[in-house]
Amino acid sequence: MNRLDWNSLDGAGQRAALARPAQSRADSLRSGVEQIIARVRADGDDALRELSARFDRCTLEAIEVTEEEFRAAEATLAPALKAAIDEAAARIEAFHRAAAPMPVTLDTATGVRVERVLRPVGRVGLYVPAGSAPLPSTALMLGVPARIAGCREVVLCSPARADGGCDEAVLYAARSNGVHKVFKLGGAQAIAAMAYGTASVPKCDKLFGPGNAWVTEAKLQVSADPDGAAIDMPAGPSEVLVIADAAANPAFVAADLLSQAEHGPDSQVILLSPSATMLDAVEAEVLRQCAALPRAEIAEQALAQSRLIAVASLAQAVEVSNRYAPEHLILQVNEARELLDGIESAGSVFLGAWTPESVGDYCSGSNHVLPTYGYARSYSGVSVASYQKQITVQEVSPDGLRAIGPCTATLAAAEQLEAHRRAVTLRLAALEDAA
Amino acid sequence: MNRLDWNSLDGAGQRAALARPAQSRADSLRSGVEQIIARVRADGDDALRELSARFDRCTLEAIEVTEEEFRAAEATLAPALKAAIDEAAARIEAFHRAAAPMPVTLDTATGVRVERVLRPVGRVGLYVPAGSAPLPSTALMLGVPARIAGCREVVLCSPARADGGCDEAVLYAARSNGVHKVFKLGGAQAIAAMAYGTASVPKCDKLFGPGNAWVTEAKLQVSADPDGAAIDMPAGPSEVLVIADAAANPAFVAADLLSQAEHGPDSQVILLSPSATMLDAVEAEVLRQCAALPRAEIAEQALAQSRLIAVASLAQAVEVSNRYAPEHLILQVNEARELLDGIESAGSVFLGAWTPESVGDYCSGSNHVLPTYGYARSYSGVSVASYQKQITVQEVSPDGLRAIGPCTATLAAAEQLEAHRRAVTLRLAALEDAA
């Protein structure tokens, strides 16, 4: 792990300390994804079968999961896991419902009613990766808000196992939360299929979910094409920043850093503390705990890039965190809540010793699909609003037009938009004639 | 104007009837914009001066508008126009405040508090085009919600006039609504400057506003670059779809169609009606009113591409409208509100005879920066939320962890994320030890 002292770094050193790995939007990735998308658009399901054989090493008979497979998945699933999925879904639903946008009505002048109404995005496509293991929790995080929003059709793609099957927990989580169709597809080809449609896969209006560099590049490409699909957000590798004071429990801090590090070799792990003793203790704990992990090798690669940074104060830690804009921010400090007002950019925040990131990953109720790679400066995590359009509506009465018509006409004249002006004055004249 | 009968068209004919002009994301546009962005990144302000001379035919001394220019603008501005700007800003502010997201707090289990807090995007860049005339209303639509959100720095770019000055109404609308800095920049170079920063122009986190094909392409390019900036939405030419029944006033309908057509030759104008008499009457009115417009030539070009479509019923009109997903939807029908529930995709809706689109363009209170080109299927117009990040927060007590820890551990185990599991079990063990 890399030990750094923030205040002895110069500007370039501070930038380097917070640098993320260069996103390999390399030409080879870009053109590789372009080719996959072009193939799927040209050859549809045939292309999907061939690309799945090549990339996922599986032979797909039917691309779509059948009713029988859904039933078998539910029957096979361990009852404890089924109960955990249901329990998590209930809390995710409760919070997402509470945070969902509401319709708004306001009379901005007498006779001028302005409203905001909400409509679901019609058809949405969810992507659930399965790089090293299936992720039923991601099916929940994407499926539950789609169900609350009331999307007409919810489609989910997740890579098949080598035996051609789909993970039972993913199927159960999807089906019990309103996902209508599941397809055994992964990678850029899954994104292409949902963005453009094939004989089997319906064309979707908006795509959601995390993924590797190929999936991310495919999402960027289809979102730049008016004939493609909108996306939830761009994405990079997962990341955590922990701020710990001298009173933190080093074993807890280490456990949180490791639960990020085990995601993948490119996971970003940063610890900030004003206490050098704490940095020492956490480093020792990380090494001790890491040795016992089944994914120790992956975690070690991520830890080799991790940074333990000494700062002057908690206030400075918050400053540095805002500059980094972490996906996950854990505040293992006394009175964690006091730091919250100062937090400007983060995907999700975890307050205090008893709030490990894992609770947010699974079942506190918040969403785990969050902006990474500094996108927390301008993007938010997935929520019900991500699955809705907000449409404004206005209804003006004759009195209302008398009230706001002159203002409209003056501004239209200033902008030399005479037809805009006349659309008002012609109506006002009609009202006078009628009076 | 093109007259069509929806029900006598085959599938291809119906698609053609609702087709938008092909977006010229031509290779030449793409590479032209790439070159401009590269130049601005390499040569900063020097590039901005050179590109402004080339594209806007103006010689810029200072790129930034000075305090003196702001004061002169306010002093010069016609009092009636100033009052109209203030009046419009007040209603825009009232509606945008009413529709702004609110913080949320929910206990999803005893001892598990989940929250959503709101934070402004730190530095935002607003683009106000001035293709054929200055647009103070766009400065309002972009500036007011930025002010409500509380963005730390609000930057605005608008092309200079040939004399090197900036429109007084734009300057007044910007300054009186919290815009901190205005730069005399237009086109792709303005977008590049705000996305990457120069010596004069601060680097912004997110960019907003309409623009021509160059501006739109530049926004797409910088939003696909992690070192660039997020954007509000992609954009195409402005468009209106009117649904009129047999009782509508053809003069009003014609005026609304013309106020769209005068925007530019590529403006999209569609009328749907179950009444052939109404289509005839509107066509005659459009020709009559158009002749009297100063921008008749522009409007005629747009009208040449416009479509007057006979439909079987108002229900079918709504169906067709949803398929088109118009930026502006005007319902000039009896009981317009009864159609509203059926509207799935539109940027902004105008109900009834006394609600011309112009009121929404200027001062009803709703925003006029709206999704075009079918993006209303998945995007919403600009609102306060566009200028905010929604951050989730969770705080779990020891009792809370006892309540949701086991669910977390079960799901983590299913996903083979052992460190995620241990971050919980290690804490639960510590609680037991302490008990």
Q: DSSP letter string over A269-322?
A: EEEEES-HHHHHHHHHHHHHHHHT-TTHHHHHHHHHT-EEEE-S-HHHHHHHHH
Tell me the average pLDDT across A326-353.
98
What residue in A sits closest to B85 (Cα-Cα)? A411
List the catalytic residue out of A69, A96, A239, A328.
A328
Residue B301 annotated as lining a ligand binding site: no
Count other Cβ atoms within 10 Å, centred on residue A294. Answer: 12
pLDDT at B280 over 90: yes
pLDDT attached to residue A25 = 61
What's the residue count for chain A? Answer: 435
User: How far is residue A220 from each of residues A226, A229, B205, measured CA to CA in Å?
Assistant: 12, 10, 18
Binary contact (A81, B414; C-beta < 8 A): yes
**Cα–Cα distance measured from residue A389 to residue A149, given in angstroms and rounded to the nearest whole number:** 10
Q: Where are the beta strands (DSSP E) in A100-229?
A: 104-109, 112-120, 123-127, 153-157, 181-183, 206-208
**Cα–Cα distance measured from residue A122 to residue A150, given in angstroms and rounded to the nearest whole number:** 9
pLDDT attached to residue A163 = 83
Query: B286 to chain A nearest CA, in Å?
Result: 11
| Per-residue model confidence as pLDDT tens digits over A99-134 | 999 999 999 999 999 999 999 999 999 999 987 788
Angle (deg, nearest 10), helices A79-98 and A136-149: 40
Domains within chain A, CATH numbers bracketed: 3-23+236-365 (3.40.50.1980), 27-101+119-232 (3.40.50.1980), 397-434 (1.20.5.1300)
Show the tokens assigned to A358. Answer: 């894992």
- Residue B183, judged by CB atoms within 10 A of its CB (0-12, 13-18, 19+), counts as buried
Task: Say which residue the tokens 């006598």 belong to.
Answer: B8
Classify strands A307-310 and B230-231 as parallel, antiparallel or unpaired. unpaired
8 Å CB contact between A238 and A222:
no
Sheet bearing B153-157, strands edge to edge: B181-183, B153-157, B123-127, B206-208, B230-231
ipTM over 0.90: yes
pLDDT attached to residue B23 = 66
Sheet bearing A348-351, strands edge to edge: A2-5, A307-310, A268-273, A239-244, A328-332, A348-351, B388-396, B112-120, B104-109
**A407, A416, A424, A425: best mutation site toward chain B, by most B Cβ within 10 Å?**
A407
Binary contact (B390, A383; C-beta < 8 A): yes
Q: Which residues of B touch A404 (CB under 8 A)?
A: 91, 359, 363-364
Residue A273 annotated as lining a ligand binding site: no
Question: Measured between CB atoms, which of B378, B394, B408 is closest to A366?
Answer: B394
| Per-residue model confidence as pLDDT tens digits over A196-213 | 999 999 999 999 999 999
pLDDT attached to residue A61 = 81
User: Catalytic: A328?
Assistant: yes
8 Å CB contact between B340 and B349:
yes
Query: B118 to chain A nearest CA, in Å?
Result: 9
Q: How many CA atoms lie within 13 A of A9 on its CB side?
A: 17
Show the tokens assigned to B74. Answer: 């306010």
- Residue A202, judged by CB atoms within 10 A of its CB (0-12, 13-18, 19+), counts as middle
Residue B368 annotated as lining a ligand binding site: no
Residue A96 annotated as lining a ligand binding site: no
Residue B348 annotated as lining a ligand binding site: no
Residue A40: which of A31, A53, A50 has the closest Cα?
Answer: A50
Q: How many CA atoms lie within 13 A of A83 on its CB side?
A: 8
Classify strands B112-120 and B104-109 as parallel, antiparallel or unpaired. antiparallel
**What secondary structure does DSSP assign to A369-383, as a single string?**
----TTGGGT-----
What residue in A sits closest to B331 (Cα-Cα)? A395
Binary contact (B356, A427; C-beta < 8 A): yes
| Conformation bin of residue A325: beta by default, left when phi > 0, alpha when psi is -120 to 50 | left
Tell me the average pLDDT across B115-121.
98
| Conformation bin of residue B208: beta by default, left when phi > 0, alpha when psi is -120 to 50 | beta
Binary contact (A362, B412; C-beta < 8 A): yes
**A391, A397, A402, A404: best mutation site toward chain B, by most B Cβ within 10 Å?**
A391
List the catalytic residue out of B285, B327, B357, B368.
B327
Binary contact (A350, B420; C-beta < 8 A): no
Residue A189 annotated as lining a ligand binding site: yes
| Per-residue model confidence as pLDDT tens digits over A178-189 | 999 999 999 999
**Cα–Cα distance measured from residue A84 to residue A363, given in angstroms and rounded to the nearest whole number:** 9
Q: How many CA atoms lie within 13 A of A361 on its CB side?
A: 30
Show the tokens assigned to B411. Answer: 């799901």
What does DSSP assign to residue B64?
B
What residue in B sits closest to A137 (Cα-Cα)? B411
Least confident of A66-80, A390-404, B127-141: B127-141
pLDDT at B24 over 60: no
Residue B189 annotated as lining a ligand binding site: yes
Binary contact (B135, A415; C-beta < 8 A): yes
Binary contact (B419, A91; C-beta < 8 A): no
User: Catalytic: B368?
Assistant: no
Q: What percent helix, strand, coil does chain A show, rounded to 5?
A: 50, 15, 35
What average pLDDT does the structure give for chain A?
95
Least confident of B34-48, B69-83, B121-135: B121-135
List the catalytic residue out of A168, A239, A262, A327.
A327
Residue A420 annotated as lining a ligand binding site: yes
Binary contact (A349, B393; C-beta < 8 A): yes
| DSSP helix/strand/coil, B256 | helix
What's the residue count for chain B? Answer: 435
Residue A229: which of A371, A125, A143, A379 has the closest Cα?
Answer: A125
Count other Cβ atoms within 10 Å, centred on residue A79. Answer: 7
State the DSSP H helix or E strand holding residue A243, giving kind and residue range, or none if neither.
strand A239-244
- Residues above pLDDT 90, as percent of chain A: 89
Vertex A176: Cα angle to A78 and A387 (nearest 5): 135
**B93, B95, B328, B335: best mutation site toward chain A, by most A Cβ within 10 Å?**
B95
Residues B159/B163/B164/B170 CA torsion (nearest 10 deg): -50
Binary contact (B136, A169; C-beta < 8 A): no
| DSSP helix/strand/coil, A239 | strand
Binary contact (B133, A417; C-beta < 8 A): yes
What residue in A sits closest to B134 (Cα-Cα)? A415
Residue A148: which of A90, A203, A191 has the closest Cα?
Answer: A90
pLDDT attached to residue B142 = 98
pLDDT at A226 over 90: no
Least confident of A30-34, A50-54, A242-246, B129-133: B129-133
Query: What burial letters (b/e) apply to B76-108, b meaning 16+ CB within 10 Å?
Result: ebeeebbebbebbbebbbbbbebbbbeebebeb
Residue A14: which of A348, A282, A394, A320 has the closest Cα?
Answer: A320
Q: In the beta sheet, which residues pair with residue B307?
A: B2, B270
8 Å CB contact between A209 and A232:
yes
Show the tokens assigned to A257. Answer: 């850093």
Q: Which residues of A touch B407 (CB under 8 A)?
A: 84, 87-88, 362-363
Query: B298 to chain A nearest CA, in Å?
Result: 11
**Cα–Cα distance measured from residue B189 to residue B212, given in angstroms and rounded to the nearest whole number:** 13
8 Å CB contact between A136 and A177:
no
pLDDT attached to residue A24 = 56
Q: Which residues of B touch A423 (CB under 8 A)?
A: 252, 255-256, 258-259, 356-358
Tell me the average pLDDT across A46-66.
89
8 Å CB contact between A190 and A8:
no
pLDDT attached to residue A318 = 98
Q: How sure is the predictor about B66, in pLDDT bands with cuts at 50, 70 and 90? A: very high
Q: Which residues of B touch A365 (CB under 8 A)?
A: 106, 108, 112, 114, 394
Query: B318 to chain A nearest CA, in Å?
Result: 15
Tell me the average pLDDT across A410-420.
97
Q: What is the CA radius of gyration of chain A?
A: 26
Tell me the average pLDDT across A252-277.
95
List the catalytic residue out of B328, B335, B344, B368.
B328
Name the residue type at position A316. Q
Residue A357: which of B420, B222, B59, B247 has the closest Cα?
Answer: B420
Contacts of A431 (CB under 8 A, 6+ apart): A398, A401, A402
Size of interface A-B (CB pairs under 8 A): 423
Show the tokens assigned to B376. Answer: 């209303």
Question: Measured between CB atoms, which of B294, B390, B404 is closest to A380?
Answer: B390
| Conformation bin of residue B365: beta by default, left when phi > 0, alpha when psi is -120 to 50 | left
Query: B244 to chain A nearest CA, in Å?
Result: 16
Show the tokens assigned to A191. Answer: 């994104």
pLDDT attached to residue B247 = 97
Binary contact (B91, A404; C-beta < 8 A): yes
pLDDT attached to residue B58 = 78
What residue in B sits closest to A227 (Cα-Cα)? B374
Binary contact (A259, B419; C-beta < 8 A): yes
Binary contact (A137, B415; C-beta < 8 A): yes
Residue A289 annotated as lining a ligand binding site: no
User: How far is residue A337 from each of residues A244, A358, B398, measured CA to CA in Å?
Assistant: 13, 19, 16
